Chains A and B, each alone.
Chain A
Amino acid sequence: AQSVTQPDIHITVSEGASLELRCNYSYGATPYLFWYVQSPGQGLQLLLKYFSGDTLVQGIKGFEAEFKRSQSSFNLRKPSVHWSDAAEYFCAVGATGRRALTFGSGTRLQVQP
């Protein structure tokens, strides 16, 4: 069965600083990988996804993520964080033939002025 680990529960960065949120997955084959963002009291919005091809994926709001098979990782990055990026971020993995996604426990991002 697939699983997802987000080792950082809470991260605080200064506005304008770079950001990297870590995600490690466990799955026997090539996974489908996703990053979602959840603002307080809201549903989840898809930031980006990886299915195949180029391992560096561009998403919305200036985010990108890189799939590294050798490290079983799919870390989310942003070169310059904005105050509006403060939210909770979830990494998720999907498997071939399985319709539902498995989510990590989330990383809460706080942005300091």
Chain B
Amino acid sequence: SQTIHQWPATLVQPVGSPLSLECTVEGTSNPNLYWYRQAAGRGLQLLFYSVGIGQISSEVPQNLSASRPQDRQFILSSKKLLLSDSGFYLCAWSTTEKLFFGSGTQLSVL
């Protein structure tokens, strides 16, 4: 069966520090992969999606970036975190019918 792993579960980082969140999917090949962010009291905002290795589409211009170095690996990065980057980050993958989410990373930028 397909599973999605996301880590770390929680992260506290100072302003200006770099960020790397990793997501891997097992049990499927060539999945569509997504990064969403959920800010406190708000819905989910799509940040990036990828339909294949090295193919990244950005939905919202910001200081975050994403990379897909392998078929089932999706990385969210930042060179310098801002306070406004705090939130709950969710990785997801999809079939044609369903979107499956990882357990999320709670990022606090202080």
* Chain A residues in 8 Å Cβ range of B102: 43
Cα(A51)–Cα(B102), bound, Å = 23
B87-110: which have CB < 8 Å to A?
A: 90, 92, 94, 97-104, 106
Interface of B is mostly: strand
Q: Are A99 and B98 in contact (CB under 8 A)?
A: no
B49-101: which have CB < 8 Å to A?
A: 49, 51, 59, 90, 92, 94, 97-101
A36-83: which have CB < 8 Å to B?
A: 36, 41-46, 49, 51
Q: Are B59 and A41 in contact (CB under 8 A)?
A: no
B106 is contacted by which of A6, A41, A46, A105 (Cβ under 8 Å)?
A41
B90 is contacted by which of A9, A43, A49 (Cβ under 8 Å)?
A43
Binary flags per residue of A20-39, CB closer than 8 Å to B gives 1, else 0: 00000000000000101000
Q: Are B43 and A44 in contact (CB under 8 A)?
A: no
Cα(A59)–Cα(B99), bound, Å = 15
A105 is contacted by which of B6, B36, B43 (Cβ under 8 Å)?
B43
Q: Are B43 and A100 in contact (CB under 8 A)?
A: no
Interface residues on B, range: 20 to 34
B84: min CB distance to chain A, Å: 17
Given the interface pairs A90-B43, A103-B43, the reply to whether A43 lies near B101 with Cβ below 8 Å is yes
B34 is contacted by which of A6, A45, A100 (Cβ under 8 Å)?
A100
B33: min CB distance to chain A, Å: 10
Cα(A46)–Cα(B97), bound, Å = 11
Given the interface pairs A44-B101, A49-B97, the reply to whether A105 lies near B42 with Cβ below 8 Å is yes
Beta-carbon nearest neighbor of B33 in chain A:
A99
Given the interface pairs A44-B101, A105-B42, A106-B43, the reply to whether A99 lies near B94 with Cβ below 8 Å is yes
Sampled A-B contacts (29; CB under 8 Å): A6-B43, A9-B41, A34-B99, A42-B103, A42-B104, A43-B6, A43-B101, A43-B103, A43-B104, A44-B90, A44-B92, A46-B99, A49-B97, A51-B97, A90-B44, A92-B44, A92-B99, A99-B49, A99-B94, A100-B34, A100-B59, A101-B46, A102-B46, A103-B36, A103-B43, A103-B44, A103-B45, A105-B42, A106-B43
